[in-house]
Amino acid sequence: MKIWYNMSLRRDIMKRFLKVCICLLMVVGVVGCGGSDSTEKQEAVVKHFFEYFKEADMDKLTTICTKDNQDLKDITSMISGLDAYRDPKKFGQVFVDETDSFMKEVFSTLFVSYEIKKAEKKDDNYTITVDATMKDYKGFNFSTSEMSTIAEKYQKEHLSELQELYKSKGQQAMIEKIYADIAPQLYASMKEQIKTIKESKEKMLFTVVADGDNWLISKIQVYQ
């Protein structure tokens, strides 16, 4: 009798998992590409940007950026693309929690430090110049070989158990177990990899515009 749980299914599960991991690392690459009056309020908005980014709080970031801020749109659209992989009904709560934890790890470590150097008024707007030390994700060669090895080893070692689970509770229960069991180890491996990423010095230029009594970031430019 042919065993249903075959290599094709295993490869499909791994492809989906690795896609999530790679997408998360792509998100942070977006930011890497791209008078006598007091400037306290304008500088405060920039400080909030780093604070909210470190917390991976997209909701708060949208409150300090203009609606047409393309730099923020690029980040939020990529994160939204991960929503399909953050569904506990498909992947189980353990996997979703581990994915969220890894995302926060990436965001919290991207900016190592920053210093506001100057604030200049240009017409009705302000430009805030910041010297930042960042993790150089642009030059990071993400390796999936170790993760593939971990996943394949787990599935081989638990083949009988997974087959029985499939027979008794169905495919979804089996898939959730796989994700729940391998996600912590796989994400731990990825976290170790990002610790090896080198740092780079970048100059960031924030364009800040008035919005009533508030100030919002309309553009973020990064120069090496």
Q: Report whether pLDDT(117) > 80.
A: yes
What pLDDT score does 3 carry? 42
| Collapsed DSSP state (helix, strand, coil) of residue 129 | strand
| Distance between CA atoms of residues 21 and 10, nearest Å | 17
Biggest CA pair distance of the chain: 83
| Collapsed DSSP state (helix, strand, coil) of residue 26 | helix
pTM: 0.77
pLDDT in tens, 175-212: 888 888 988 888 888 888 888 888 989 999 999 999 98
pLDDT in tens, 25-70: 666 666 655 544 578 999 999 999 999 999 988 899 999 999 999 8
The number of beta carbons lying within 10 Å of the beta carbon of residue 193 is: 18
186 vs 169, which has greater pLDDT?
Answer: 169
Radius of gyration of the chain (CA): 22
What pLDDT score does 35 carry? 46
Q: Give the mean pLDDT of the chain.
A: 83
What pLDDT score does 217 carry? 95
| Distance between CA atoms of residues 218 and 224, nearest Å | 20
